[in-house]
């Protein structure tokens, strides 16, 4: 008889009272795994009393006595020493309290599986708890926690201490779940083996995404957009997204077509630099910098868009790309890693080399200039998403890993 997974989930917690995880997709995933049959427990710095939300039981972060913390620290000094090089005393105090709280949950709830999201600090915490208690450990890798682009100093792996901690996390894990072959390859390289690394294509919740309740022109009017063609990018305004290439490509498109607008949804430290670049390229009046747009509002922008663009230098698997394809939006992306597992080249998307704004512009124009091609790619995208982006299938595959790993206890 298969053992029922009783899971301690470790992830960045949300500060908001109505949320559990900082990243909504993590919370959606854990809630769905609970419905599949797992019992999910977690703890949070931001919860003052035990609560159950979306089937996830969340314990408050407990403040333990100085004596207990000191005893724990002395007993586990060799494991904690590397943190002393990085963390302030207050952070270390909070970290040890976190470990002690998790330790109590493990004993109290009969935890037989730890599932950590992201390599550090969550992954290291999961690895440390496994070493202490022998509870099987699963890591879910997403991208920034293992990928790196040295030329722009992107990726936590460029920090020597982070790399040491993440090596520890990778090597003690019983299973690693990668969301693309690109991420799987990076993990295998670090472990010198692909054993116990499984690539599970993530799914998205399609309900409501494809429901265009209002005609396109009505939505455009509501959003204050009057141009004939809409190009959409959903991207953080950070170096790894290579938004300057996006703007240079758009300038070429704008020079060919008068009635075209680029809608850029995302926030980040490069916003002012990008506005200045748009001004220098004389395209500022044709770009809408929308800052962060909640997922429930993004569907309106997908619904009015003719093309979705991604110019990233590195991607694990971009949620907004999946959502755009699920909405039937033809896409043009760079060959930047995991995104390639989620498209069919020349079917629902075109692929260009990283940094090639000329090729990017040519592919966009080929779509905008050809209504028949645009419609064909849109229909292909809808079929592809229906057949490949099932969130239920993704959850079933993760739950299968749960059952396999929990049985090893």
Q: If you search the block for the tokens 């209002």, which residue do you land on? A: 214
Superfamily the domain 6-203+391-406 falls into: Glycogen Phosphorylase B; (3.40.50.2000)
* Whether the domain at 6-203+391-406 and the domain at 216-388 fall into the same CATH topology: yes
User: Which DSSP symbol is given to 12?
Assistant: P
Residue ranges of domains in the chain: 6-203+391-406, 216-388
Taking only the tens place, the pLDDT of each residue in 107-144 is 999 999 999 998 766 677 888 888 888 899 999 998 77
**Cα(311)–Cα(334) distance, integer angstroms:** 5
Alpha-carbon dihedral 361, 363, 366, 367, rounded to 10 degrees? -100
Query: For strand 56-60 and strand 51-53, is the pairing parallel, antiparallel, or unpaired?
Result: antiparallel
Question: Cα(first)–Cα(last) distance of the chain, in Å?
Answer: 14
- What is the value of pTM for the model shown? 0.88
Lookup result for tokens 């229909």: 379
> What pLDDT, on a 0 to 100 scale, did the predictor assign at position 32?
97
Rounded Cα distance between 96 and 93, Å, is 5
Residue 91's pLDDT is 58
Beta-sheet pairing, 39-44 with 137-141: unpaired
Domain at 216-388: CATH code = 3.40.50.2000
pLDDT digits over 6-29, tens only?
Answer: 999 999 899 998 899 998 889 999
Which H, E and C letters describe 333-383, residue by residue?
EECCEHHHHHCCECCCEEEECCCCHHHHHHHHHHHHCCHHHHHHHHHHHHH
Q: For residue 115, give every residue at least 6 positions away whose Cβ sits within 8 Å of its Cβ, in sequence order, or none.
A: 7, 8, 9, 10, 126, 137, 138, 140, 402
For residue 86, give the 3-state DSSP assignment: coil
For the record, the structure tokens of 189 come out as 């390289």
- Looking at residue 67, its pLDDT comes to 66
CA distance 113 to 6: 6
For the purposes of burial, counting CB atoms within 10 Å of the CB of 359, is it exposed (0-12), middle (13-18) or buried (19 or more)?
Answer: middle
Rounded distance, CA 352 to CA 356, Å? 7
Contact 381/206 with Cβ under 8 angstroms?
no
* pLDDT for the residue 65: 67
**Per-residue confidence (pLDDT) for residue 77, from 0 to 100:** 54
Q: What pLDDT is attached to residue 92? A: 62
309 prior amide bond cis, ω within 30? no
Question: Which of 30, 32, 35 shows the shortest CA–CA distance to 7?
Answer: 30
Dist CA 332 CA 311 (whole Å): 8
pLDDT recorded at residue 64: 62
Q: Which positions of the chain have pLDDT values less than 70?
A: 1-2, 63-94, 120-122, 155-157, 161, 207-213, 407-409
In this prediction, residue 97 carries a pLDDT of 76
Continuous H helices in 87-242: 89-109, 124-133, 160-172, 181-191, 216-222
pLDDT of 55 reads 94
């Amino acid at each position: 008889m298969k053992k029922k997974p009783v899971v301690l989930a470790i992830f960045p917690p949300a500060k908001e009272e109505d949320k559990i995880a900082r990243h909504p997709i993590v919370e959606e995933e854990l809630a769905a795994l609970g419905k599949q049959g797992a019992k999910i427990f977690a703890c949070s710095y931001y919860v003052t009393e035990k609560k159950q939300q979306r089937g996830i039981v969340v314990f408050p972060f407990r403040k333990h006595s100085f004596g207990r913390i000191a005893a724990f620290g002395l007993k586990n000094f060799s494991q904690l020493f590397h943190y002393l090089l990085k963390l302030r005393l207050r952070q270390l105090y909070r970290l040890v309290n976190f470990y002690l709280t998790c330790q109590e949950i493990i004993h109290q709830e009969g935890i037989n599986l730890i599932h950590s999201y992201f390599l550090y600090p969550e992954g290291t915490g999961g690895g440390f708890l496994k070493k202490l208690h022998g509870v099987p450990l699963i890591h879910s890798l997403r991208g920034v926690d293992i990928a790196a682009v040295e030329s722009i100093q992107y990726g936590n792996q460029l920090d020597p201490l982070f790399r040491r901690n993440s090596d520890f996390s990778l090597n003690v894990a019983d299973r690693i779940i990668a969301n693309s072959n690109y991420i799987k390859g990076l993990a295998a390289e670090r472990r010198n083996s692909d054993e116990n690394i499984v690539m599970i294509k993530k799914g998205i919740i399609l309900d409501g995404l494809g429901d265009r309740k209002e005609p396109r022109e009505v939505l455009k009017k509501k959003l204050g957009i009057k141009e004939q063609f809409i190009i959409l990018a959903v991207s953080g305004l950070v170096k790894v997204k290579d938004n300057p290439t996006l703007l240079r490509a758009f300038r070429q498109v704008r020079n060919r077509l008068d009635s075209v607008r680029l809608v850029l949804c995302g926030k980040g430290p490069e916003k002012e630099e990008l506005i200045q670049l748009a001004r220098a390229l004389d395209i500022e009046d044709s770009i809408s910098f929308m800052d962060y747009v909640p997922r429930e509002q993004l569907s309106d922008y997908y619904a009015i868009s003719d093309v979705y663009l991604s110019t990233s230098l590195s991607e694990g698997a971009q949620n907004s790309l999946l959502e755009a394809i699920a909405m039937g939006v033809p896409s043009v992306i760079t060959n930047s890693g995991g995104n390639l597992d989620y498209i069919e080249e020349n079917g629902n998307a075109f692929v260009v080399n990283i940094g090639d704004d000329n090729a990017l512009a040519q592919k966009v124009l080929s779509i905008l200039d050809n209504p028949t091609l645009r419609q064909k790619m849109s229909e292909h995208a809808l079929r592809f998403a229906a057949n490949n982006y099932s969130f239920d299938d993704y959850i079933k595959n993760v739950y299968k890993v749960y059952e396999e790993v929990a049985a090893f206890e």
